[in-house]
A and B are shown apart, each in its own frame.
Chain A
């Protein structure tokens, strides 16, 4: 179901989170009424949406929209001030261990240890997930082969290209076999081919392994018509639903224009209030 309100975004503050996909299934991710402040600055305001299992949901917003703050809240790097977040029904505040075990994350900044080798980075991550060494090595070899780095197993990470590092981060995020994958601006700084490869790889994970994906981005060309979408602007959700539905309801000829229309209307309201 699509929810768009270009005239009264504050109405969203009172909406219950609506599942984008089948409501009978426990959402992979449920974000309900999340607000967050840094001092007096409001970074997120009553953000609510769901991500269905085995779906690709794009979290679209310009720089400063609040995407990274939201990712930090979902991954419990920040404490939740208002609202609730749950992963497959496990509340991130009340049952963080259960929720985090189902979660794989690729953060916007690189989080690999540059002085460790490809395999050592994977083994360290596996240890943090409590995966025994022998099993970790087996899984590590498997994912390294899958991302095409089998010949670089013992290379130091600092010797890899940007695209290889990103693929390694995605492989690392999948090592503990999560059911939900969060990627925060995962293609920033990569060339066109590397971006396309990574996006195709993540979409393949959704299709073949049934992983739910939340893909935070500010790049329109990473979104396809069949994706679910959450549009975030200055900490408010302006729209959520499928791209097709959003286009239909806004009446815009393409998504670029629909996004501009929504954000400019929101900015005008912000200035006038």
Chain B
């Protein structure tokens, strides 16, 4: 085939082009985050309300015995802090997917999807960008929590970072997978209720699993198979410079499964591509 019309502009994409694209998507998500200050505030207020009000109220009711990774008796606030961190990431993951549904409805998503870079790469860039935004929120929460006497060892602030990245990717990819199946923005509210709340409450975020087992063995198994439980435990252990290997394996495995699912769902020949254009365009 003749390609005489083509110039150097159209040479094969190299590593530098991929890095440029990743930077661009990270930059755009950061700008969007800065433009939505209320999103940042609400992302912080939610866990802080749990911490300052709920945990303070339940401190006397829900005593926590010594369980790993803790080596002494702890306050209830200390126990639920990792769960609240994971909650920040869960909401952020769903918020990112909500923005993808919004972008798709408004048409902005097309700009991303007609990029010459592979679609799997673009989706992973979006995931990474969402995770970076969630990290900012988590560290802001940890800073405020520190003034509330929730002070893990200093090294914990560093060792928790890989756990946060992994859990952020898992929850982000779950949100992305869900967003691929949502046809209209309005439907997303229902999904939030059916995903976020069950995931959060049926986990070890608010109470240790042994307590759940005492109350309801069935709920215990539900919590045990909930990937969010393992995200919470991964973060909890990492905050104290320890590794929960089972949780690490579950979170890594779920991240891989959800990411591959999202990539397949956004493949033009499969999920994303099947629907008629919006707004009566044909």
Contact = CB atoms under 8 A, between A and B. Distances in A.
Contact of B282 (A28, A69, A210): A69
Given A53-B5, A113-B28, A128 B115 contact: yes
Size band of the interface chain B makes with A: 35 or more
Contacts of A131: 17, 20
Interface in A61-81: 63-69, 72, 75-80
Interface string B104-117: 00111011111111
B6 interface: yes
B24 interface: yes
A67 B21 contact: no
Interface string A103-130: 1010111111101100010011111111
Interface in B19-71: 20-21, 23-25, 27-28, 31-32, 35
A69 B277 contact: yes
A122 to B, nearest CB: 11
Contacts, number: 152
Q: Which of A97, A130, A132 has the most CB of B within 10 A?
A: A130
Between B24, B107, B272, the greatest number of chain A beta carbons within 10 A of the residue's beta carbon is seen for B24
Contacts of B17: 129-131
B267 A132 contact: no
A120 B34 CA distance: 14
Contact of B3 (A67, A79, A89, A177): A89
A111 B282 contact: no
Interface residues on A, range: 35 or more
A56 to B, nearest CB: 16
B31 A120 contact: yes
Contact of B273 (A41, A78, A88, A89): A78
20 contacts: A28-B5, A38-B276, A69-B282, A77-B114, A97-B118, A101-B13, A101-B116, A103-B114, A107-B107, A109-B107, A111-B111, A115-B31, A115-B32, A125-B111, A127-B21, A127-B25, A129-B17, A129-B21, A133-B20, A179-B10
Interface of B: 1-3, 5-7, 9-10, 13, 16-18, 20-21, 23-25, 27-28, 31-32, 35, 106-108, 110-118, 122, 267-270, 272-282
